[in-house]
Structure 1
Amino acid sequence: MHAQVIAVHRNPLHGFSKTSHPFIDLVAGQGVLDDTHAGVTVQHRSRVAKDPTQPNLRQVHLMHQELFEEVAAQGLPVRPGQMGENITTAGLGVLALSEGTLLRIGALAVVQVTGLRNPCAQIEAFLPGLLAAVLDRTAEGALVRKAGIMGIVKASGRVQPGDPITLIDAPAMHRPLQPV
């Protein structure tokens, strides 16, 4: 299976879930047009409260369809967009990507991977048991975050379900993703 977009979502208001749309427009340096998290500087309320001048490394949130299947098998039915992602992917090992990886999504849009989404208590408030389902531990006890990845928009473009996702560049040395 080739990596592709399954669904796209945005929400102009702060809230946990995002509404599915036929397409979204990614804007270089900003994020998703008409999404509350778009901007050059941080838009997440908790981060704005700490330092509103921080660069926005969370302009676009990508989450893998495979996670929805995994949590559904645990009795936690969640649909794309409900966990707040902008782009639901399939066939792309998002969690194994390197920080700095460039992804072409659709014909024109390019997203640079910045790091992992750090799942928060809002996930548990949305659906009890979901926070534990999107976290894991390695054999050594290290925390594994499975709630998708974050990125910044490097090139503008329209993205819609069915669009291919292509890895166009990755750092020469793999840099494991850290929460951003």
Structure 2
Amino acid sequence: MPRVVAVSRDAAHRFSKPVVDQIVLVAGIGIEGDAHAGETVQHLSRKRVDPSAPNLRQVHVIHSELFEEVGEHGFTVAPGDMGENITTSGVDLLTLPTGTVLQFGDDASIEITGLRNPCSQINGFEPGLLKAVLGKDENGVVERKGGVMSIVLSSGAVRAGDEITVMLPPEPRTPLQPV
């Protein structure tokens, strides 16, 4: 059964986010008290380019299975370390289409907008980790494994242990692209 493993937030723009007991999603804004909350883009490099762009990166979600995968290559990564807000288990996030809704418990929900495009800051956390979260499939197409980005659809609290309901968008479905 898909579940929330951990939740994280940080009021400052740092790479890693501390794990907390709960986060509060605010519809159309993001996570209460998180540096990336806002209707318009809050990611610092993107804000410099176009501060009026919509914020498609309000909530960052990573599957805990990634930590196990990179662990096989000698990396130690725990919830919040890669800057995610929600760490999941049992959901193959990277194969979900754009527009998939994840509901946490009875109230809170997000809509997946695209893939996180891992950047070189990951190597500042652990040298060589960027290469471990970027790969190529059998056709040479780049695979981004650093989780998904989303917007908040409905407000509510999210805690470790919450059940996750996955709601796919109607056909035709669009594969995730970097946002």
TM-score range, shorter chain: over 0.9
Q: Is the 8 Å Cα contact of residues 7 and 21 (structure 2) preserved in structure 1?
A: yes
Rounded Cα–Cα distance in structure 2 between residues aligned with 1:54 and 1:80: 29
> Structure 1 length as normaliser, TM-score?
0.98
Instruction: Give the aligned partner of residue 130 of structure 2.
Output: 131
Aligned: 1:116 with 2:97: no
Rounded Cα–Cα distance in structure 2 between residues aligned with 1:89 and 1:59: 17
Rounded Cα–Cα distance in structure 2 between residues aligned with 1:79 and 1:169: 28
Aligned length: 179
Instruction: Give the aligned partner of residue 151 of structure 1.
Output: 150
- Identical-pair percentage: 54
3-state SS in 2 of match to 1:70: helix
Unaligned runs of 5+ in 2: none
Query: What is the identity, as a one-letter code, of the residue corresponding to 1:134?
Result: V
How far the C-alpha of 1:94 sits from its partner, in A, is 0.2
Query: What is the identity, as a one-letter code, of the residue corresponding to 1:101?
Result: T
Rounded Cα–Cα distance in structure 1 between residues aligned with 2:84 and 2:56: 14
Query: What is the identity, as a one-letter code, of the residue corresponding to 1:102?
Result: V
3-state SS in 1 of match to 2:118: coil
Q: Is the 8 Å Cα contact of residues 23 and 158 (structure 1) preserved in structure 2?
A: yes
Rounded Cα–Cα distance in structure 2 between residues aligned with 1:20 and 1:106: 19
Rounded Cα–Cα distance in structure 1 between residues aligned with 2:170 and 2:151: 16
Q: Is the 8 Å Cα contact of residues 7 and 87 (structure 1) preserved in structure 2?
A: yes
Aligned: 1:82 with 2:81: yes
Deviations 1:123-159 (A, max 9, x none): 0111001000001101111100000000000000100
Instruction: Give the aligned partner of residue 66 of structure 1.
Output: 65
Aligned: 1:104 with 2:100: no
Q: Is the 8 Å Cα contact of residues 59 and 150 (structure 1) preserved in structure 2?
A: yes
How far the C-alpha of 1:53 sits from its partner, in A, is 0.2
Instruction: Give the aligned partner of residue 161 of structure 1.
Output: 160
Deviations 1:98-136 (A, max 9, x none): 001111112201100000000001001110010000011
Superposition misfits of 4+ residues, deviation over 2 angstroms: none
Query: What is the identity, as a one-letter code, of the residue corresponding to 1:129?
Result: G
> Structure 2 length as normaliser, TM-score?
0.98
Instruction: Give the aligned partner of residue 15 of structure 1.
Output: 14
